[in-house]
């Protein structure tokens, strides 16, 4: 067996002889011959012209390098990007509805989601679902309790005798029906105009909550006992709630008597007018327009 020290000395002598030969021929670089042990190809000699005229490449991912023998290699590169799989479940709203900020389109989308609702038993007895009406960008939102007979027939809130009184109340405030948005706690008429049941309110309330979120009114006028108690999450009656502002989702809310109650009880008209005057004062304080003032 050949002594390793002798073999090493022979390799060094050969390398030195090669170096002297290269320098004697004016070369500044040494061409590496293939390693007899590793079988690696020789390194290409750099071209000085290419090196001098090369333009820095645009930023890009660095070329992969072999990991250090003393460092654990990192995770493998991610696979080529591809479109993510569609999530399971109901489809999200189209971007034109969900992201464009068009309140009218978002209300239409919510109405479509409500559909021909049968989430509670009122869906079996109503004639028309009463969603809401008015300006989608209203500064004042009027919330009643539920549709009556005339609303059930026409599919629009506050259109009967109580609706006519509401129109007059708004006009006295310097507003028209087209300046506000009008909706109810529940969207279907209870039989015989009875009070809405808790499970009926629970099945329908989230749609009103979304209407409020979409419209983002500056003030809410809650008309009637069930409207005020539902929005304020209280069992306190309307006679104790009215007369001062409360808050619903950070929005000032004024409870007052329902127009149907005022048609039966003339004594409530003066207190109701005092409530409306507070709403007008708050609108003026906030700089909200009352075009008929």
pLDDT reported for residue 9: 63
Interstrand relation of 181-184 and 246-248 (parallel, antiparallel or unpaired) = unpaired
The encoded tokens of residue 77 equal 């590169």
CA distance 33 to 164: 102
Q: What per-residue confidence (pLDDT) applies to 23?
A: 60
- Tell me whether residue 57 is in a domain: no
pLDDT digits (tens, 9 = 90+) for 150-181: 999 999 999 999 999 999 999 999 999 999 99
Q: Cα(6)–Cα(260) distance, rounded to whole angstroms? A: 115
Q: How far apart are CA 117 and CA 126, in angstroms?
A: 10
Look at the chain and report how many structural domains it folds into.
Answer: 1
- Which residue numbers in the chain have pLDDT < 70? 1-101, 292-293
The answer to the question of residue 223 being in a domain is: yes
Asked, for residue 6, whether it belongs to a domain, the answer is no
Specify the pLDDT at position 216. 96
Longest CA span, the chain: 123
Cα angle for residues 282, 261, 216 (degrees, 5° grid): 35
26: left (phi over 0), alpha (psi -120 to 50) or beta: left
Q: Is 252 inside any structural domain?
A: yes
pLDDT score recorded for residue 271? 97
Residue 155 lies in a domain: yes
Tell whether 17 is covered by a domain.
Answer: no
Determine the 3-state secondary structure of 85 from DSSP. Answer: coil
Residue 82 domain-assigned (yes or no): no
Tell me if 237 sits within 8 A of 225, measured CB to CB.
yes
Question: pLDDT value at position 289?
Answer: 87
Question: 259: domain CATH number?
Answer: 3.40.470.10
Range of the domain at 133: 100-286
- Which tens digits make up the pLDDT trace of 174-191? 999 999 999 999 999 999
pLDDT of residue 82: 39
Domain-located, residue 142: yes
């Amino acid at each position: 067996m050949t002594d390793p020290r002798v073999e090493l000395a022979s390799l060094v002598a050969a390398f030195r002889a090669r170096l002297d030969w290269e320098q004697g021929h004016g070369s500044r670089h040494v061409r590496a011959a293939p390693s007899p042990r590793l079988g690696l190809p020789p390194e290409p000699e750099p071209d000085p012209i290419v090196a001098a005229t090369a333009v820095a490449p645009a930023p890009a991912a660095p070329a992969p390098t072999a990991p250090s023998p003393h460092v654990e290699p990192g995770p493998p590169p991610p696979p080529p990007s591809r479109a993510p799989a569609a999530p399971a479940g109901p489809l999200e709203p189209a971007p034109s509805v969900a992201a464009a900020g068009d309140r009218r389109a978002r209300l239409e989308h919510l109405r479509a989601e409500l559909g021909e609702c049968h989430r509670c038993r009122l869906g079996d007895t109503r004639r028309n679902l009463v969603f809401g009406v008015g300006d989608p960008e209203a500064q004042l939102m009027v919330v009643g309790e539920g549709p009556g007979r005339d609303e059930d027939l026409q599919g629009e809130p506050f259109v009967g005798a109580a609706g006519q009184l509401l129109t007059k109340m708004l006009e006295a405030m310097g507003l028209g029906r087209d300046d506000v948005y009008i909706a109810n706690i529940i969207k279907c008429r209870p039989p015989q105009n009875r009070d809405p049941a808790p499970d009926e309110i629970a099945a329908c309330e989230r749609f009103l909550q979304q209407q409020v979120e979409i419209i983002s009114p500056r003030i809410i006028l809650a008309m009637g006992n069930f409207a005020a108690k539902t929005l304020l999450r209280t069992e306190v009656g309307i006679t104790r709630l009215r007369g001062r502002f409360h808050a619903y989702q950070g929005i000032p809310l004024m409870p007052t008597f329902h127009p149907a109650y005022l048609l039966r009880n003339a004594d409530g008209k003066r207190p109701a007018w005092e409530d409306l005057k507070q709403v007008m004062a708050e609108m003026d304080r906030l700089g909200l327009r009352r075009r008929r003032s």
